[in-house]
Amino acid sequence: MHIHILGICGTFMGGLAALAREAGHRVTGCDANVYPPMSEQLRGLDIELIEGFGAEQMALKPDVFVIGNVVTRGNPLMEALLDAGAAYTSGPQWLAENVLQGRHVLAVAGTHGKTSTTAMLAWILEQAGLQPGFLVGGVPLNFGVSARLGTGKTFVIEADEYDTALFDKRSKFVHYRPRTAVLNNLEHDHADIFPDLAAIETQFHHLVRTVPSTGRLVVNARDEAIKRVLARGCWSEVLRFGTKREEPGGLCARGDPHSFDVLRGSLKLGHVEWPLLGEHNQMNALAAIGAAEHVGVATEAACAALASFQNVRRRLELRGEAAGVKVYDDFAHHPTAMRTTVDGLRRKIGHGARILAVFEPRSNTMKLGAMKAQLPWALEEADLSFCLQGNYGWSAAEALAPLGNTAVVAESVDVLVAKIVQAARPGDHLLCMSNGGFGGIHDKLLAALAVP
């Protein structure tokens, strides 16, 4: 089968492309912006990438067009295939029908930590010899690819609540029909399609409705929104994580995030010793351990597997060092994730060095300005903050005004780089945060810093 994917460079659609290629299909695709790491992965798989959405791509005559949710009415290729009556489907539906059917699906959902937790869970199952398939919204360093079919019965998938396609406004995850579902946390996001947190809770309730009675929900015991979701109806076994030690049945941690015991109530089940920092990663680990248990992996074995977990690309990834300044890349784009990332770096380097936070409000939610008031809170632990001002309809300078002269705004990446280099000094840590390519700012910073 020949499939042509519209929006192929998104993390989900790029992973789908890799799975389809591995399954023996001919895969081509197009996108408006082609940037790493997905572009590198796709080219490495010999998948032809076409820049743009020109109607001339109809000449490829694929068996089916797979439509990403970045595609809207008015898109030239979408209009052409509709006019031609060509066969099309959404990415999640294609995945459900061609990859997930007959597998034990373990889905990881939540506002934050989906990618890391999915990667942790896949690695635990791999180390347990289950040879899982997986689709992660990033590139796990342990595997080097964002997706693979796997030869075992399990399939681990990052379960996004964003909408499926222009013709299917349900959340992606309702297509996956998991037997094991992680509900990591819940916060308002995707303000372009969800007016408030209650609307997102409804979608999560729909996900809960798809889990069978013999399935398991692995849920964050501390999250009030998730409690409300379960109160609307629950038909499956529930394992809570992040519980207090006196609470029987749930999973909890004792110790620092980089070295902790895993307990069920007061009973020690295993110990995790790993390089990751931050309580959020500790919580992610508990979620992954609880999900792996549902497919027969003992907690002690899961803990041992996490000792060799290497995280995911673009999660506090050190891109290089020049003139004594380290440059990091991180996918954080929601204020809560940004604050968590800054805090994670601070824990890593201590208070003796400066953090220069560099960010691009690129997500649809941030472009709408729905969370601009939270930006000073997200960045307050950084020593200096630098923001790219795009055509957002709101002023980044005004939003960051509470930070005073520690915040700098520029209207182009090149000007931003110049301002950062002017402020940077040896020993600094430059933390670049964006859910896109950020105009190649990492390499530009390293090149500019290297100039004597």
* pLDDT for 312: 81
H/E element, 116 = helix 114-127
pLDDT band at 246 (very low <50, low <70, confident <90, very high): low
Look at 209 and 346; give whichever has higher pLDDT. 209
Higher per-residue confidence, 45 vs 333: 45
One-letter amino acid identity for 255?
G
* Distance in angstroms (rounded) separating the CA atoms of residues 195 and 103: 34
Render pLDDT for 80-111 as a digit per residue (tens, 0 to 9): 999 999 999 999 999 999 999 999 999 999 98
**pLDDT at res. 194:** 75
pLDDT of residue 36: 65
Per-residue model confidence (pLDDT) at position 374: 85
Query: pLDDT tens digits, residue range 46-66?
Result: 899 999 999 999 999 999 999
| Distance, CA of 430 to CA of 319 (rounded, Å) | 10
Q: Is the pLDDT of residue 413 over 70?
A: yes
For residues 252-261, give the mean pLDDT: 93
Query: Which helix (H) or strand (E) element contains residue 170?
Result: strand 168-171
Cα 289 from Cα 306, distance rounded (Å): 9
Largest CA distance in the chain: 65
The 2-6 sheet, strands edge to edge:
48-51, 26-31, 2-6, 64-67, 88-90
Higher pLDDT residue, 336 or 389?
389
Expressed in angstroms, the distance from the first to the final Cα of the chain is 54
Please say whether the beta carbons of 130 and 294 come within 8 A.
Answer: no
- What domains can be seen in the chain, in order of their start residue? 2-92 (3.40.50.720), 102-306 (3.40.1190.10), 317-450 (3.90.190.20)
CB–CB of 298/127 below 8 Å? no
How much is the pLDDT for 341? 86
What are 302-318's pLDDT values in tens digits?
999 999 999 887 777 88
Nearest to 67 by CA among 96, 29, 108: 29
User: What would the mean pLDDT of 428-450 be, rounded to a whole number?
Assistant: 90
- By DSSP bridging, strand 147-148 and strand 133-135 are antiparallel
Range 193-199, long-range pairs (CB < 8 A, 24+ positions): 193/162, 193/163, 193/169, 193/364, 197/225
Task: Identify whether the C-beta of residue 375 lies closer than 8 Å to the C-beta of residue 349.
Answer: no
- Indicate whether 16 pLDDT > 90: yes
Q: What DSSP state is assigned to residue 440?
A: G
In 3D space, the residue among 289, 248, 243 whose CA is nearest the CA of residue 265 turns out to be: 248
State the CB neighbour count (10 A cutoff) for residue 444: 19
- Global pTM value: 0.81
Average pLDDT of every residue of the chain = 91
Residue pLDDT, tens place only, 333-370: 788 888 888 988 888 888 889 999 999 988 776 777 77
What average pLDDT does this structure show over 200-222? Answer: 96
Q: Count CB-CB contacts under 10 A for residue 310.
A: 15
Q: Please say if the pLDDT value at position 130 is more than 80.
A: yes
Q: Name 351's Cβ contacts closer than 8 Å, sequence gap at least 6.
A: none
HSE value, Cβ hemisphere, 13 Å, CA-based, for 347: 17
pLDDT of residue 361: 86
